[in-house]
Amino acid sequence: MKIKQVSCFVENQPGRLESALEALKAEKINIRALCVAETSEFGIMRMVLSDSAKGAEALRKAGFTVKETVVLQKDMPDQPGGLLDTVAKPLARAGINLEYFYAFIDPTPGTASIVLKVSDPDKAEKVMGQ
């Protein structure tokens, strides 16, 4: 199914991610899926939002460079080989290049799971109470 993705360019410095997330929160925009790619200068947050147009506008108003892109959303079995058999093989056999992707699992209602890479894991555990 075709859906809209919002990509936001975020300077790689303390507080910028917070500003982007505050802009979305202020407009009551929920992040349904997220992928962050980074370089030394900036990161690109690729997001599926509860309201992509409203979310993109909120980020622009907060001073971020934003791009909206049409992407595909595909359900697949959450089992070994699910990605291979449902996505990778069919695309490869059709000669279609997979430029990038990110995956998420249907969480328990009202709960989300995230994996973080941080510069100070010990401090992060203390701050987050883990």
Structural domain boundaries in the chain: 2-128
**Looking at residue 110, what is its pLDDT?**
72
**Looking at residue 62, what is its pLDDT?**
97
DSSP tag of 87? I
Which residues does 100 contact at the CB level (< 8 Å), separation at least 6?
A: 35, 37, 46
**Looking at residue 111, what is its pLDDT?**
59
**Looking at residue 20, what is its pLDDT?**
97
Distance, CA of 115 to CA of 99 (rounded, Å):
22
DSSP tag of 60? H
Q: What is the pTM of this model?
A: 0.81
**Sites in the chain below the pLDDT cut of 50:** none
Q: Report whether CATH 3.30.1330.10 matches the domain 2-128.
A: no
Reported for 90-98, long-range contacts at CB under 8 A and 24+ positions apart, including other chains, are none
> Which of 33, 46, 50 lies closest to 105 in space, CA to CA?
33
Strand order in the sheet with 42-49: 31-38, 42-49, 2-11, 65-72
